[in-house]
Amino acid sequence: MRHISLEILKERKTNILSAVIHHYIKTGKPVGSTVLIDKYNVSLSPAAIRSVMAELEEEGFLTHPHTSAGRIPTDKGYRSYVDNLLKLQSFAIEEEERIKKDYEQKHKEIESLLSETSRILSGLSQYAGFVMAPQMQYDKIRNIELVQISNSELLIVLLTQSGVIKHKKIESSLCQGEIAKLKNFLNEKLRGISVAQANKRIVSEIKEFKQQEEDILKAAEKISDVFYNIQDDIYIDGTSNVVAVPDFNDFEPVKSLIKFNEDKEKFIEVISKDFSDNGINVKIGSENALAELKDLSVITTVYKNGDRAVGVLGIIGPKRMEYNKMMSLVSRVSEMLNNFFKDKDK
């Protein structure tokens, strides 16, 4: 009896698992041994293939619907498939040109760019695309403007080095001279430091103001509160694309996406956990922290301003997706955002 090495057995399992997942991604139908022989040239007997598939099922990589003898991948199976992708497929030239063309038409303001980026991710993936804006607490301050809009209101306009513009009104009855003095003070003390540092810096530095300038001090304290309460943003597009995916027998995954689009704080909290990860991050089904995402896969990566990661972007779709193509899309769009910030600072 011919002895088969462990390496060959492992390779057979890997190849059969990859073929099953590839075919299931394409068709959405359980996969049997005949399909693997006819479509993927697996050079084993039907009995040998069934034996390997049974082992993969025992190990948790495959499962089968009770009405079918064919197998479908589990979350663990998808994870193995993703981990064994040696390299991401390159995008077809026409798809890459579409992305470049979209970026050539981008707006100058970063919010418009990020909103457009979520639409690009959604349009090319046909799933839901999202981009988390540069995290404000790490973003550095480029300039602060103070604009008197009424006798009792002052508009604070914050411009960061990433190009994000935030504005908020506070109650203040300062005169023009006092506003100019406060603006100079803020820019002198805060320009070039992060928003998180700015909140602490104002608290310590406003003590320099003399007591007779109590109104200016009160306004500065309110501006400190503005920095403390700045919220991160996220742009989500294409949630309706998931409605068309035939994988879902109920509306729960779609309702979860709609909920995230309406109440983004919970989603931002979850996505922020990927902020420190390098490369492509893939969470499949039950690997997601939120129960609402148990029927979906989320692919994310960070984008950078120079060497510093400032935000997260990605795709949400069904577990039965073309992972290599979606991972390549997320990676390519991230590179283009990186280039945007690099060119912007020149």
What CATH number does the domain containing 147 carry?
3.30.390.60
One domain, residues 177 and 319:
no
| Distance (Å, whole) CA 144 – CA 67 | 65
Using the 3D structure, point to which of 228, 261, 284 is the last residue of a domain. 228
Residue 178 lies in a domain: yes
Q: Which of 44-48, 76-80, 275-279 has the lowest mean pLDDT?
A: 275-279
Q: Residues 37, 111: one domain?
A: no
Last residue of a domain, which of 174, 200, 228? 228
Residue percentage of the chain with pLDDT more than 90 = 12
Position 1 in a domain: no
Split at pLDDT 50, 70, 90, the class of 160 is confident
Q: Is the distance from CB of 167 to CB of 147 less than 8 angstroms?
A: no
Half-sphere exposure of 66 (CA within 13 A, CB side): 0
Indicate whether 123 and 252 sit together in one domain. Answer: yes
Q: What is the pLDDT of residues 79-99, one digit of tens each?
A: 888 877 644 444 444 555 565
Asked which of 59-63, 104-108, 115-119 is least confident by mean pLDDT, the reply is 104-108
Hey, which of 98-102, 143-147, 255-259 has the most confident mean pLDDT?
143-147
CATH of the domain at 11: 1.10.10.10
Give the tens place of pLDDT for each residue, 318-334: 888 889 889 999 999 99
Domain range spanning residue 210? 141-228
**Measuring CA to CA, how many Å separate 77 from each of 16, 56, 292, 298?**
11, 9, 21, 16
Residues 31 and 176 in one domain: no
Give burial (CB, 10 Å; 0-12/13-18/19+) of 310: buried
Whether 88 is in a domain gets the answer no
Q: Is the residue at 325 inside a domain?
A: yes
Domain count, the chain: 3
Structure confidence at residue 242 as a pLDDT band (50, 70, 90): low
245 and 322 assigned to the same domain: yes
Cβ burial of 301 (10 Å; 0-12, 13-18, 19+) is buried
The highest-confidence range among 9-23, 165-179, 223-237, 252-266, by mean pLDDT, is 9-23
Asked if residue 325 and residue 298 are part of one domain, the reply reads: yes
pLDDT of residue 329: 92
Instruction: Kindly state the helix (H) or strand (E) to which residue 130 belongs, with its residue range.
Output: strand 128-132
Question: Is there a single domain that holds both residue 109 and residue 207?
Answer: no
For residue 334, give the CATH number of its domain: 3.30.450.40
End residue of a domain, out of 228, 250, 266: 228
Is 164 a domain residue?
A: yes
User: Is there a single domain that holds both residue 160 and residue 78?
Assistant: no
Instruction: Decide if 326 contacts 128 (C-beta within 8 A).
Output: no
On whether both 237 and 337 belong to a single domain, the answer is: yes
Residues 146 and 79 in one domain: no
pLDDT of residue 89: 46
Percent over 70 (pLDDT), the chain: 73
- Residue 231 banded pLDDT, cuts 50, 70, 90: low
Is residue 125 domain-shared with residue 239, that is, in the same domain?
Answer: yes
- Indicate whether 48 pLDDT > 80: yes
Q: Are 290 and 270 in contact (CB under 8 A)?
A: yes
131 vs 222 pLDDT, higher one: 131
Residue 41, sorted as left (phi over 0), alpha (psi -120 to 50) or beta, turns out to be left
pLDDT at 73: 92
Residue 254 banded pLDDT, cuts 50, 70, 90: low
Does one domain contain both 106 and 246?
yes
The answer to whether position 191 is within a domain reads yes
In a 10 Å sphere around its CB, with 0-12 CB exposed, 13-18 middle and 19+ buried, how is residue 330 labelled? buried
- Cα Rg of the chain, angstroms: 26
